[in-house]
């Protein structure tokens, strides 16, 4: 019974101290919800959505209210027709007014119509800009994530290496005690342990720094004690031709350029509206009241109301060439956007081909490094057996040990380099947000 209680206590202790394992999907979800750059991009989308609403379109009328009051005190003296003289001291006059005015543009040369369409395209552009921010943040996030994974595996390799070095030191000390080797072998083993310890210290500090970087990208929402998943799944089903075709439809930079072309087209049409007249509708309702207690006044109180409506036409026949200049510049801007599109297509095609070749090369390097691991491991195991039999020196054993360690580190580097190259291919082709990594 006592042994069972001890086992249960150990199990509870281990569970309490178990570190959280953060998978790539977990990190991506945290970044989408808490990354500050993504949150700012989403807020910019909301601003663009407000701008494209009917309240900012110019299609609604304007209604203004005016009100005022005035009090006037004066001393006056007047002579009547019969010759009498009247004096008014401190005569007070009060005047009050209020009015409501309506203005509505019936026609403005279609400028309002094209500006409204331009605002809608600007909203679509802001969504694409937010998507680009998300894609760039995901690339940054996954780069840091896989650096953490690589450093975690490296640290584990360093720890395995120092265990081998400790076993070698113990063996050397026994052999020295029995006169089978010299003190030099013991000292060499101690030096190698010290070197391995330094590698572990540096590796642990690098891992801590990288985890802080990962936590920063996710908005500091990961606990301090966490591990990452070091399992890598490559998307070997990727096809270059399919991705190249998707690139023209899905690459976020190309789509943004197309939206900019549409925006400039609407801007050109809106500027052309300056050649046409503007027709507006006006209406107002007013109320006025005045009181006067002066004995010289003919009317002591006067109240009036008025209603008016009208239609007006304004045609700027010549504005000094301002409209002509704006139209010319808008046409040039549109032509520049079309030229940028052609330039961007060539650039993105080049980037995709470079990224694809880089991805394939790094996959091949990873495969070669895996084979190299087998060779280095086999060489180390054979050297270790010979070392135990005294057939190889400690220097040869250490070299075989370092060869195995370097092979493992190179394999880790190649594995995550290949995965990051795959991510870049997906980003350029516009498929990064459509696949499960």
Residue with tokens 């979800």: 29
Sequence spans of domains, the chain: 20-60+109-276+320-429, 63-107+278-314
pLDDT for the residue numbered 15: 37
Note the pLDDT tens digit of each residue in 131-146.
999 999 999 999 999 9
d(CA 41, CA 221): 19
Q: Which DSSP state fits 234?
A: -
pLDDT for the residue numbered 8: 34
**Mean predicted lDDT score pLDDT of the chain:** 89
74-83, 303-312, 331-340, range with the lowest pLDDT: 74-83
Note the pLDDT tens digit of each residue in 191-240.
999 999 999 999 999 999 999 999 999 998 887 789 999 999 999 889 99
CA 435 to chain centre: 19
The CA-atom distances, in angstroms, between 27 and each of 19, 211, 426 are: 15, 12, 18
Tell me the average pLDDT across 347-362.
97
Tell me the average pLDDT across 365-388.
94
Tell me the average pLDDT across 168-181.
84
Contacts 24+ apart (CB under 8 A), 401-404: 401/161, 401/164, 401/165, 403/376, 403/379, 404/376, 404/377, 404/379, 404/380
What pTM was estimated for this model as a whole? 0.86
Tell me the average pLDDT across 312-333.
94
353: which residues sit within 8 A by CB, 6+ positions away?
none
Kindly tell me if the per-residue pLDDT of 17 is higher than 60. no
- Report which of residues 84 and 210 the model is more confident about: 210
Tell me the average pLDDT across 417-431.
97
Work out the angle between the directed axes of helices 24-34 and 36-51 (0-180°, nearest 10): 50
Residues paired with 98 in a beta bridge: 67, 287
360: which residues sit within 8 A by CB, 6+ positions away?
none
pLDDT for the residue numbered 208: 94
The candidate with the shortest Cα–Cα distance to 147, out of 35, 230, 240, 234, is 230
Residues paired with 69 in a beta bridge: 96
d(CA 406, CA 412): 10
Kindly tell me if the per-residue pLDDT of 87 is higher than 70. no
pLDDT for the residue numbered 1: 40
19-23, 238-242, 281-285, 422-426, range with the lowest pLDDT: 19-23
Kindly tell me if the per-residue pLDDT of 298 is higher than 80. no
Kindly tell me if the per-residue pLDDT of 398 is higher than 90. yes
Tell me the average pLDDT across 6-26.
59
216 with 148: CB under 8 angstroms?
A: no
406: which residues sit within 8 A by CB, 6+ positions away?
376
Residues paired with 292 in a beta bridge: 93
Spell out a b/e string for 321-336, using b for 16 or more CB atoms within 10 Å of the CB, else e. Answer: eebeebbeebbeebee
243: which residues sit within 8 A by CB, 6+ positions away?
352, 356, 425, 429, 431
pLDDT for the residue numbered 9: 38
Please report which confidence band the pLDDT of residue 296 belongs to, taking 50, 70 and 90 as the band edges: low
CATH 3.40.50.2020: does it fit domain 20-60+109-276+320-429? no
How crowded is the C-beta side of 42, counted as CA atoms within 13 Å? Answer: 10
Q: Which DSSP state fits 319?
A: -
3-state secondary structure at position 295: coil
Kindly tell me if the per-residue pLDDT of 6 is higher than 80. no
């Amino acid at each position: 019974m006592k042994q069972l209680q001890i086992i249960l206590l150990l199990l509870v202790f281990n569970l309490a101290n178990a570190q959280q394992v953060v998978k790539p999907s977990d990190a991506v979800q945290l970044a989408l919800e808490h990354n500050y750059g993504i949150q700012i991009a989403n807020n910019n989308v909301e601003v663009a959505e407000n701008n494209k609403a009917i309240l900012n379109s110019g299609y609604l009328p304007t209604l203004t209210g005016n009100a005022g009051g005035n009090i006037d005190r004066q001393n006056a003296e007047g002579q009547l027709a019969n010759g009498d003289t009247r004096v008014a001291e401190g005569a007070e006059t009060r005047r009050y007014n209020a009015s409501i005015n309506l203005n509505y543009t019936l026609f403005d040369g279609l400028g309002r119509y094209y500006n409204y369409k331009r605002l809608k395209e600007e909203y679509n552009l802001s969504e694409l800009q937010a998507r680009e921010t998300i894609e760039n943040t995901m690339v940054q996030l996954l780069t840091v994530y896989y650096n953490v994974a690589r450093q975690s595996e490296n640290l584990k390799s360093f720890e395995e290496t120092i265990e081998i070095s400790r076993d070698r030191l113990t063996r050397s000390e026994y052999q020295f005690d029995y006169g089978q080797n010299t003190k030099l072998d013991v000292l060499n083993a101690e030096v190698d342990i010290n070197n391995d310890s330094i590698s572990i210290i540096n590796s642990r500090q690098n891992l801590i720094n990288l985890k802080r970087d990962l936590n920063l990208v996710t908005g500091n929402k990961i606990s301090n004690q966490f591990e990452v998943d070091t399992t890598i799944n490559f998307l070997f089903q990727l096809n270059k031709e399919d991705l190249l075709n998707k690139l023209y439809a899905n690459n976020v930079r190309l789509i943004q350029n197309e939206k900019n072309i549409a925006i400039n087209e609407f801007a050109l049409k809106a500027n052309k509206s300056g050649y046409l007249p503007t027709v507006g509708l006006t209406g107002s309702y007013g109320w006025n009241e005045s009181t006067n207690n002066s004995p010289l006044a003919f009317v002591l109180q006067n109240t009036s109301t008025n209603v008016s409506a009208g239609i007006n036409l304004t045609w700027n026949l010549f504005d000094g060439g301002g409209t002509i200049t704006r139209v010319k510049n808008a046409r040039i801007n549109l032509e520049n956007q079309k030229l940028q599109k052609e330039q961007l297509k060539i650039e993105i095609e080049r980037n995709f081909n470079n990224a694809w070749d880089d991805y394939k090369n790094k996959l091949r390097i990873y495969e070669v490094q895996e084979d190299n691991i087998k060779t280095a491991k086999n060489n180390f195991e054979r050297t270790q057996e010979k070392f135990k039999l005294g057939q190889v020196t400690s220097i040869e054993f250490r070299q075989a040990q370092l060869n195995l360690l370097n092979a493992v580190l190179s394999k880790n580097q190649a594995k995550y380099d290949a995965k990051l190259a795959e991510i870049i291919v997906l980003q350029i082709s516009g498929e990064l947000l459509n696949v499960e990594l």
